[in-house]
Amino acid sequence: MLLTNQLAKQVITFLQQYIQQLGFTPVIHFELEGCYRYHPHNKGIPPLDLSVINHQLKKLDIDGEVIDEYWQNQWEFVSAFQGQMPLREAENLTKVIASLPHLFAKQGIMQTLIKPVVWAGDKGKLASGCRNVFSGEARDVHIPNAIQMNVSVNNSSGENIIYQDYFGEYLQQCFLDTSLACCLLYLPEEEAFERFALKSKYGLAEELCSPNDISGGHQGSIALYKEWGKHNQAMGETPLLFDHQHKAIVTKKNWQATARIEHRLGASSTCYNAYINIVFALVNVIDALEVYLQEQCEALLINTATSTTLPQSLHTINGQRGAIEYFQYDTWFASRINDIAERFESDAHDENKALHKIGDKLKTAILSSYQTPKIII
């Protein structure tokens, strides 16, 4: 893992610099879901105080905060929009995954669950036709937890270009094209694939809304948000005036500033590597920017209305290719990193060739963690 992180940091550094040479700044933020459990014998423990957790995150120099999520004892870490570069954002998430169990434990939490699925994490059944009203019927709800990656790009004037000249649509298409072969990066453990089957396998389609395939539009798993968000809500609305019940009666709209791609397929996991997922995002950004600079985004768009089924496992089973094999036979990830590295060193007149074939090296390091060690007797 140490070698993988070192290589990924090296790649992120030159990808950031390369994008800045093109005249742009990548903007990437993470959202991480998880759950917690109290010890069953601990009575009288005060409720979890998230303000204490967030104060401690600030002391750890982490850009973001933890908030309550939908299900019982579910939480979400939300990255702060403070202009941090992608490498800093990867460092933030890595520290959050490592630190939260200790921070929660100080408040009497027995387990902090950064897992794709929290089995029997809550109980309840939604009333027919309702999204927030539960019936009297109690049953186990298995809670899916995700890691979401939000991606946008600013130009040299600090203006978000996602909404300009079909750049957002083309960047979305890039992610749609590469996310199957690279699913190992954001689905790093076997339970991540069980998360996708929760709705169908356990009859939880009404209760759960997590995506389970690769799809586009503004409501898919790789969503493009411009005027409208995931729930068809207006984007970029800022309340300006409230009535006596604190309901907004005057709002200002600026959806252009909040337009972004949301890659919603990542699974919460202590195995999730923020650095290699940032690499994955940045290479897609570069692919889209090179077309954008040629003013070809609209011309090269294809129909993205179809969805793509994800593998059912890390491993290839009964001839059905698994995530490891998909990544093993993929050529885009490593070759594009190699190409950009070669171009970057050429532009920098660097004759040391320290980045030579670094894409191949990173891919090999990623796959090595999934290889069964040989036992010599």
Q: What tokens were used for 38? A: 């109290």
What pLDDT, on a 0 to 100 scale, did the predictor assign at position 107?
87
229 pLDDT more than 60: no
Residue 166 CB: number of other CB atoms within 10 A? 20
Exposure b/e, 172-197, CB count within 10 A at least 16 = b: bbbbbbbbbbbbbbbbbbebbbbbbe
User: Which range of residues forms the domain containing residue 328?
Assistant: 2-214+262-368
What pLDDT, on a 0 to 100 scale, did the predictor assign at position 91?
98
How far is residue 20 from each of residues 23, 263, 285, measured CA to CA in Å?
Answer: 5, 23, 12
Looking at the chain, the whole-number percentage of residues with pLDDT higher than 70 is: 82
352 pLDDT more than 50: yes
Handedness of CA 344, 284, 267, 224 (dihedral sign): positive
- Residue 5: DSSP 8-state: H
Please name which of 151, 163, 88 lies closest in space to residue 285, comparing C-alpha atoms.
151
128 pLDDT more than 60: no
Please name which of 94, 97, 140 lies closest in space to residue 115, comparing C-alpha atoms.
97
Confidence of residue 231 (pLDDT cuts 50, 70, 90): low
Q: 242 in a domain, yes or no? A: no
Q: What tokens were used for 53? A: 């957790």
Confidence of residue 130 (pLDDT cuts 50, 70, 90): very low
Q: 253 in a domain, yes or no? A: no
Residues 6+ apart with CB under 8 A from 284: 151, 171, 174, 175, 178
pLDDT digits (tens, 9 = 90+) for 290-322: 999 999 999 999 876 789 999 999 999 999 999
70 pLDDT more than 50: yes
How does strand 237-242 pair with strand 248-253? antiparallel
Could you tell me the CATH number of the domain that includes residue 301?
A: 3.30.590.10
Q: 230 in a domain, yes or no? A: no
Q: 52 in a domain, yes or no? A: yes
Exposure b/e, 301-332, CB count within 10 A at least 16 = b: eeebeebeebbbbbeeeeeebbbbebbbebeb
Question: What's the mean pLDDT in 31-45?
Answer: 79
Q: 96 in a domain, yes or no? A: yes
259 pLDDT more than 50: yes
- Quote the CA–CA distance of 313 and 187 in Å, as a whole number: 9
Q: Do 126 and 49 contact (CB within 8 A), yes or no? A: no
Q: What tokens were used for 223? A: 């969503």
Size of the chain, expressed as the number of residues it contains: 377
Of 155-164, 201-210, 247-256, give the lowest mean pLDDT range.
247-256
Residues 6+ apart with CB under 8 A from 369: 1, 4
Q: What tokens were used for 66? A: 């933890």
Handedness of CA 97, 102, 103, 104 (dihedral sign): positive
- The tally of domains found in the chain comes to 1
- Which residues lie across from 252 on neighbouring strands? 238
Supply angle C-alpha 180, 208, 38, rounded to 5: 105
- Quote the CA–CA distance of 80 and 74 in Å, as a whole number: 19
Confidence of residue 133 (pLDDT cuts 50, 70, 90): very low
132 pLDDT more than 60: no
129 pLDDT more than 70: no
Confidence of residue 184 (pLDDT cuts 50, 70, 90): very high
Please name which of 169, 221, 167 lies closest in space to residue 195, comparing C-alpha atoms.
221
Find the Cα–Cα–Cα–Cα dihedral 156, 153, 288, 20, rounded to 10°: 40
- Quote the CA–CA distance of 373 and 91 in Å, as a whole number: 29
Q: What tokens were used for 278? A: 């940032």
- Residue 250: DSSP 8-state: E
Q: Do 185 and 317 contact (CB within 8 A), yes or no? A: no
- Quote the CA–CA distance of 89 and 32 in Å, as a whole number: 12
What pLDDT, on a 0 to 100 scale, did the predictor assign at position 266?
97
Confidence of residue 127 (pLDDT cuts 50, 70, 90): very low
Handedness of CA 95, 176, 81, 227 (dihedral sign): negative
Q: 231 in a domain, yes or no? A: no
pLDDT digits (tens, 9 = 90+) for 10-22: 999 999 999 999 9
Residue 31 CB: number of other CB atoms within 10 A? 21
Q: 133 in a domain, yes or no? A: yes
Q: 169 in a domain, yes or no? A: yes
